[in-house]
A = this chain, B = another copy of it.
C-alpha cells in the first residue's frame, strides 16, 4: 500500500477498499441493495453510538450540511464558526434564504459553551451548527460541553459537522444530544470521496415536518421517509460503488475496534504535535487540539510550497495553510488507515528535506 497523501482528505485508500469500488453494479431497487444499505446503517449506528436513522448521500459533506440547515431551520439558525468550514455553514444558510446569524471566534481558538449559552438564551434560535474538527485551523471544538448547554433549552436542533473527525475521534451522538452529525467518507473513514453520511434524530424528523420548502435532493425528511417506507432505499440512484466499499471498511473498522482506532489516531496526533513543538509551533489553542489533523505555525518562515514539492519527490504530500493561512501555517493530517509508522516515515522525510535532527523514536 502506497501511503502518500497527508492532506486533510482525500487520503490514500488501502488496496482492499479500492478493490471494493470495482464491484459489479446491482439494481438499486432490489433486495440486495436494501440489505447492503441496512448493513451499512447498522454499523454506522455503532460508529456514531446512536439509535438515530442513518442517511447516506451521494455528494460531498457540504451537500448534507445544506440539507441539515435547510430541512430543519424553522425559526432561525445560529452558526458558530472558528474557521473556513464554520463559515461555510453561514454561506449555505444565506444562499438558501434561511434566517441565520454567524458567531465567530478568532482563528486558532475554539467555540466556548458559554458563547453558545449566551446566544441560545436570547430565544431567537431553533437550530445551531458547530464544526467538530475545523480543518482550516486544527481546532477540535468541545461538542460535549456544548451539548450540555443545548440540553438546557427546548427544541434546539444540534447539527455537528464531523467531516474530518468521525471515524478517527469518538463522537457519542446520542449521549451528546446531537440531532444531525455529518461526515464524509474520504477523511477518517479512509474511502475515496463521493459519499456523505449523517445521523438524523427523531427530533430532527419532527422539526423537518414543520419546514415547508426543503428542496429535493437534500431533503433529509424525504430521504428518511423513503428509507423507512421502502426498506432502506433512497429516492435517487446512489453510488453503489461507495456503498460496497463503505460496508467493507466498516467491517474492518469494527474489527480493529472503535476504541483502538481512536487510540491510534491519538498516538499519530501526539507524534506530529511533539515534532511540531520541537521545530515550529502549534498554531491551534493547545486545549482544543484535533486528533486527525495538526496545523503548524510556520515560525521558521520556510516555503511550504517548496517543502511540498520536495516531499512529492519522496512520494508524500502535506497541505499548505487554508485560505488566508497559506504559507503562514501548514497542515499534516493523520487520519484513516495510516499508522504511527506511516506518520514517522513522513516526518523522517520532512526532517531530511529541512535538515532537522529529531529522534523520532522518542516522540
Contacts and interface: CB of A to CB of B under 8 A. Distances in A.
A38 interface: no
A97 B214 CA distance: 9
A213 B21 contact: no
Interface stretch (A22-30, A126-134, A168-176, A355-363): A22-30
A167 B13 CA distance: 31
Contacts of A317: 27
Interface in A185-203: 186, 192-195
B96 A215 contact: yes
Interface residues of A, number: 54
Interface in A23-61: 23-28, 58-61
A166 to B, nearest CB: 15
Given A62-B236, A92-B216, A193-B240, 8 more contacts: A5-B27, A10-B28, A12-B25, A18-B23, A25-B192, A63-B236, A70-B215, A95-B215
A217 interface: yes
28 contacts: A2-B24, A5-B25, A10-B27, A11-B25, A13-B24, A19-B22, A20-B22, A21-B21, A21-B22, A21-B241, A25-B186, A25-B192, A58-B59, A58-B194, A59-B59, A59-B217, A60-B236, A61-B236, A62-B216, A62-B217, A66-B215, A70-B215, A95-B219, A192-B239, A192-B241, A215-B215, A239-B239, A241-B242
A194 B238 contact: yes
A97 B95 CA distance: 14
Contacts of A184: 237
A141 B97 CA distance: 35
Copy total for this chain: 2
Contacts of A80: none
B25 A66 contact: no
A195 to B, nearest CB: 8
A58 B242 CA distance: 12
Main secondary structure of the interface of A (DSSP, over half): loop
Contacts of A213: 95-97
A218 interface: yes
Nearest to A5: B27
B13 A25 contact: yes
A95 B27 contact: no
Contact of A216 (B10, B21, B91, B237): B91
Nearest to A191: B25
A9 interface: yes
A181 interface: no
A214 B95 contact: yes
A203 to B, nearest CB: 22
A7 interface: yes
A260 to B, nearest CB: 24
A319 to B, nearest CB: 9
Contacts of A23: 18
A96 B219 CA distance: 10
Contacts of A22: 18-22
A338 to B, nearest CB: 13
B13 A18 contact: no
Interface in A298-330: 317
A308 to B, nearest CB: 10
A186 B28 CA distance: 11
Contact of A241 (B9, B60, B96, B194): B194
